[in-house]
Structure 1
Amino acid sequence: MECSKVPGLFLIDDFISKEEEDQLLATLDGRAWGGKGQKPNEELRRRTQQYGYLFSFRTRQVEEHLGPLPAFVDGVVERMRAFGVFAKEPPEYLLVNEYERGQGIMPHVDASTFGSTVTSLSLLTPCVMTFSKRDSGESVDILLRPRSLLVLTGDSRYNFTHSISKNQVDHYCGEPIERGRRVSLTFRRRAESS
């Protein structure tokens, strides 16, 4: 479903099942995490996993090719493509972020190293992501529910920053949203291969 307040933003709730979410989390938690003092990207305050390419958050550049995306995300990629996302070419980079309660991300636009489509699959707990128009600062809050897929294209990809507060409780439409551990899987292609 497209969000008319943020052109080019699509949000698909219940993109995967609870069972698929559990399986993804078990697989990810069985693999090595970087960040929080661990390589790669030891400078980050959150844990990450990277597949396809190694991206430096310090230089905002791709540093190394790591090989194809792992088979455990094949079903997610196939489903995205069935929805018309990455229809021409599949994603080739996956960043897994773990956010603990009260962790967020500063307002930013994803690096120009990556192409015109960015997707993010949310696991575990909901959070509010704020989109702010770069030229006016006008902002829109979007609730990212567990198992939802966020798709950024066009204006939402290039002309809005996105951020997540450091709140332990978000508020959305007047309702409190308890934050907890959240894992996101963000898929991209490199700009020259988009």
Structure 2
Amino acid sequence: MEEEDEEEAAAVSGGAGPGCGCKGIRSCLLCERPAQAAPPTQEDERFVYCPASGLAEGEERSRFAGWAFPFPGVFLAEEFVSEDEEAEMVELMDRDEWKPSQSGRKKQDYGPKVNFKKQRLKAGGFTGLPSFSKRIVAQMEACSVLGGFLPVEQCNLDYRPERGSAIDPHFDDWWLWGERLVSLNLLSKTVLSMSCDSEDSIQLFPTFSNENGGLTPPGPLTQTSPRENPGTRGSSCPLSPRFVPSKDVTVAIHLPRRSLLVLHGDARYKWKHAIHRRHIEQRRVCVTFRELSAEFSAGGRHEELGKELLEIALSFQGTPV
């Protein structure tokens, strides 16, 4: 999900600074001038995703405290791998070269060579996913949301606070990559920040604590239109819905160490995702798996190429390209 975009694909070692892969508007602590080193103040997320309820709940200190809305398309499995499995995976990754990437990250790619802008790809140099991922992919089959998931690409990304590692809000490609984006979070916790550029409004509802201590919707709400109730509690009923512009809403998804995250549906196609500098406190390694889009799957225009790529990927004999 933390994708290498077209600009990143063109990045080379030794870009704007020693060991830096930044190009264009991207920068990191290795290439920023002293006057630039302090990034603009970023506002804290206004909502926090709750895996138990599936709700984005207003933060206590924000003006949205006590309000929530459904946030579909997120699956989070904690302790997906053990400490020993984590240590083994990272040790094997570190045997290969980490190449400089944008915004203070380093990367290892296992996948076809792609030009997203021109929508072209070729298998040249792609030898499959790494051998240590075979066990992880098998474990994914136990997750209901990952039924039939066949990864064709893996991207390992290394984040470090001393490099100012981050990734700007973005969508992963839709032409080549399919519905589900899978990410394994290793070595340290972090936060995935979700934002939306839509001109639509989001309907919030007030919440109350249930007997288990969680937040739940109170039931049917008095229906009022956004024009009648532009961002305030309705006067006709204390439980009237509240409408806020999508652009004013940010959602924090807390990713524990060794957790597996799947984004699909609205979380994949309507909400951008990002990792901010302030959420990288220690070294963090992210392992992202992607499946093919319908265009490269059974019945799609590029079905045969898709079959070829999957056969290579699932040989699990790959080295970074």
Bin the TM-score by the shorter chain: 0.7 to 0.9
Alignment of 1:189 onto 2:291: yes
Q: Give 1:32 shift.
A: 2.0
CA distance, structure 2, for counterparts of residue 17 and residue 118 of structure 1: 21
Matches within 5 A, 1:1-194: 1=51, 3-5=54-56, 6-36=71-101, 45-55=104-114, 59=117, 63-65=121-123, 66-101=126-161, 102-112=164-174, 113-135=176-198, 136-137=246-247, 138-167=249-278, 170=279, 179-191=281-293, 192-193=295-296
Per the TM alignment, residue 55 of structure 1 is displaced from its structure 2 partner at its CA by 4.3
Shift of 1:86: 3.8
Gaps of 5+ in 1: 37-42, 171-177
- Other structure's SS at 2:151 match: coil
Question: What is the distance in 2 between the residues matched to 1:159 and 1:145?
Answer: 24
CA distance in 1, matches of 2:147, 2:256: 24
Question: How has the CA–CA distance of structure 1 residues 158 and 32 changed in structure 2, closer, same or farther, with 3 Å as cutoff?
Answer: same
Distance verdict in 2 for CA 1:85–1:71, change over 3 Å: farther
Distance 1:147 1:156, change over 3 A: same
Render the CA deviation track for 1:6-48: whole Å, top value 9, x for unaligned: 2111111100000000000000001122224xxxxxx664211
- Runs of 5+ consecutive residues of structure 2 not aligned to the other structure: 1-50, 57-70, 199-245, 298-321
| 1:117 counterpart SS class | strand
- Large movers: runs of 4+ above 6 Å: none
User: SS of the counterpart of 1:134?
Assistant: coil
Cα deviation code 1:97-130 (max 9, x no counterpart): 1111131110011111210000100001111111
Report if aligned partners of 2:103, 2:165 keep a CA contact under 8 Å in 1. Answer: no
| Residue aligned with 2:100, SS | coil
CA distance in 1, matches of 2:272, 2:296: 23
Q: Which amino acid aligns with 2:165?
A: Q
The residue type equivalent to 1:32 in the other structure is: E
Q: TM-score, normalised to structure 1's length? A: 0.82
Q: Which amino acid aligns with 1:22?
A: A
SS in 2 for 1:22: helix
Q: TM-score, normalised by structure 2?
A: 0.51
The residue identity in structure 2 corresponding to 1:159 is: K
Partner-residue secondary structure (3-state), 1:15: coil
| Cα distance change, pair 142–47 in 1 and its aligned pair in 2 (3 A) | same
Question: 1:53·1:62 contact (CA, 8 Å) conserved in 2?
Answer: no
RMSD: 2.2
Aligned residues: 178
User: Is the contact between residue 81 and residue 90 of structure 1 (CA under 8 Å) also seen in structure 2?
Assistant: no
Are the counterparts in 1 of residues 106 and 157 from structure 2 also a CA contact under 8 Å?
yes
